């Protein structure tokens, strides 16, 4: 039989060969999951020997990570804005970049109220966080993906948020008008697909990643819908790629929005378009 310590060392070597980032952390998280203990408990039990059923369970999890499946899909959860969200294949893993939208709203519109929409809600990280952080907002979450709406509903229920979910393309079937519209649309340029991590390229839903020509074709269409559905005086925030700030400001202007500007993420990169109707 193998001890915890021994299995961890073997797995770290295996993950390193497969090109997995932070191989030790990944090995520890998965072994803790297989043994149904916390990471702290695991590290205090290096001499513990694994029962065969635990070893088999761990092997199955480790094989998935070795094949570069995102750790968040394997664990079934991911933190966003200090809350734990359920995630699964079929929805984009929430990223810290998207917290830039929440932070910007907290800074600039701390009393946000009225009707809000999140276009392309994915896991629901953004819609649920808005509903919880801004209790005077009523939030509609839309997505073309049935899985996304299911996961958003599950996260809203678990976290005690009231979010209305509706399957549609953008806001095509929404009434509004909205005081606030946010979106983290697909914005990767398909020409850059080869440069993506295997976790992203091979496992996350392509329809949540690739934004058409230049990465901004879908955003362009959603900005037109946004201009149509915002109340006069309403505001929108769209996440985008670090090199798309200028293009997004121009597209916002073409859609009839005004005062377009760009907010930077925690790394100092252009990340979020803010524009008004
Ligand atoms: N930031 C993501 C990535 O490249 C892209 C997410 C998106 O297209 N909305 O990993």
The residue contributing the CA closest to ligand 1 atom 10 is 200
Report d(CA 273, CA 277) in Å as an integer: 13
Question: Are residue 16 and residue 87 in the same domain, yes or no?
Answer: no
pLDDT of residue 235: 98
Question: Are residue 138 and residue 205 in the same domain, yes or no?
Answer: yes
| 3-class SS of residue 68 | coil
Question: Are residue 144 and residue 251 in the same domain, yes or no?
Answer: yes
Which residues does 91 contact at the CB level (< 8 Å), separation at least 6? 122, 123, 145, 147, 148, 151, 205, 208
Decide which of 45, 67, 89 is a domain's last residue. Answer: 67
Name the nearest CA neighbour of 73 among 161, 252, 225, 199: 199
Determine the average pLDDT of the residues in 225-252.
Answer: 98
Mean pLDDT of the chain, nearest integer? 97
pLDDT of residue 1: 73
| 238 touches ligand 1 (CB under 6 Å) | no
Strands 163-167, 137-143: parallel, antiparallel or unpaired by DSSP? parallel
Q: What is the chain's alpha carbon radius of gyration, rounded to the nearest angstrom?
A: 21
| 204 touches ligand 1 (CB under 6 Å) | no
State how many domains the chain has: 2
**Which ligand 1 atom is the nearest neighbour of the CA of 92?**
6
In a domain, 72, yes or no: no
pLDDT of residue 24: 98
pLDDT of residue 265: 98
pTM greater than 0.75 (yes/no): yes
| 3-class SS of residue 204 | coil
Question: Are residue 52 and residue 173 in the same domain, yes or no?
Answer: no
Residue 41 scores a pLDDT above 90: yes
* φ, ψ of residue 44 in degrees (nearest 5): -85, 0
**Which ligand 1 atom is the nearest neighbour of the CA of 209?**
8
Decide which of 24, 47, 67 is a domain's last residue. Answer: 67
DSSP character at residue 21 = S
Best probe residue, ligand 1, of 123, 192, 209 (max atoms within 8 Å of C-beta): 209
59: domain CATH number? 1.10.8.10
140: domain CATH number? 3.40.50.150
Question: Are residue 46 and residue 112 in the same domain, yes or no?
Answer: no
Beta strands in the chain (DSSP E): 77-80, 83-86, 114-119, 137-143, 163-167, 178-183, 230-239, 258-264, 270-276
Question: Are residue 185 and residue 266 in the same domain, yes or no?
Answer: yes
* Per-residue pLDDT tens digits for 139-181: 999 999 999 999 999 999 999 999 999 999 999 999 989 999 9
> Are 174 and 183 spatial neighbours (Cβ–Cβ below 8 Å)?
no
The whole domain housing 217 covers: 77-276
| 93 touches ligand 1 (CB under 6 Å) | no
* Per-residue pLDDT tens digits for 89-142: 999 999 999 999 999 999 999 999 999 999 999 999 999 999 999 999 999 999
- Taking the centre of ligand 1 as the mean of its atom positions, its distance from the CA of residue 91, in whole angstroms, is 12
Distances (CA, A) of 181 to 91, 115, 126: 20, 9, 11
- Taking the centre of ligand 1 as the mean of its atom positions, its distance from the CA of residue 90, in whole angstroms, is 14
Question: Are residue 83 and residue 46 in the same domain, yes or no?
Answer: no
- Taking the centre of ligand 1 as the mean of its atom positions, its distance from the CA of residue 61, in whole angstroms, is 25
């Amino acid at each position: 039989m193998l001890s915890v310590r021994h299995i961890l060392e073997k797995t770290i070597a295996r993950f390193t060969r497969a090109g997995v980032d932070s191989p030790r952390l990944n090995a520890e998280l998965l072994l803790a999951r297989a043994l149904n203990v916390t990471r702290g408990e695991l590290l205090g039990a290096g001499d513990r020997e694994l029962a065969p059923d635990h070893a088999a369970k761990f092997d199955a999890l480790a094989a998935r990570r070795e094949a570069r499946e995102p750790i968040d899909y394997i664990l079934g959860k991911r933190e966003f804005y200090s809350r734990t969200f359920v995630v699964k294949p079929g929805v984009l893993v929430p990223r810290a970049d998207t917290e830039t939208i929440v932070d910007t709203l907290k800074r600039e519109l701390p009393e946000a109220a009225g009707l809000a929409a999140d276009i392309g809600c994915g896991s629901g990280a953004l819609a649920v966080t808005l509903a919880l952080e801004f209790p005077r907002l009523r939030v509609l979450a839309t997505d073309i993906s049935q899985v996304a709406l299911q996961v958003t509903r599950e996260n809203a229920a678990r976290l005690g948020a009231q979010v209305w979910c509706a399957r549609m393309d953008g806001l095509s079937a929404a009434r509004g008008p909205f005081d606030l519209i946010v979106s983290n649309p697909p914005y990767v340029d398909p020409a850059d697909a080869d440069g993506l991590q295997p976790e992203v390229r091979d496992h996350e839903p392509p329809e949540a990643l690739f934004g058409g020509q230049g990465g901004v074709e879908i955003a362009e269409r959603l900005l037109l819908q946004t201009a149509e559905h915002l109340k006069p005086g309403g505001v929108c925030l769209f996440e985008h790629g670090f090199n798309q700030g200028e293009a997004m400001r121009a597209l916002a202007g073409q859609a009839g929005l005004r005062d377009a500007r760009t907010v930077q993420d925690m790394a100092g990169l252009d990340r979020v378009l803010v524009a008004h109707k």
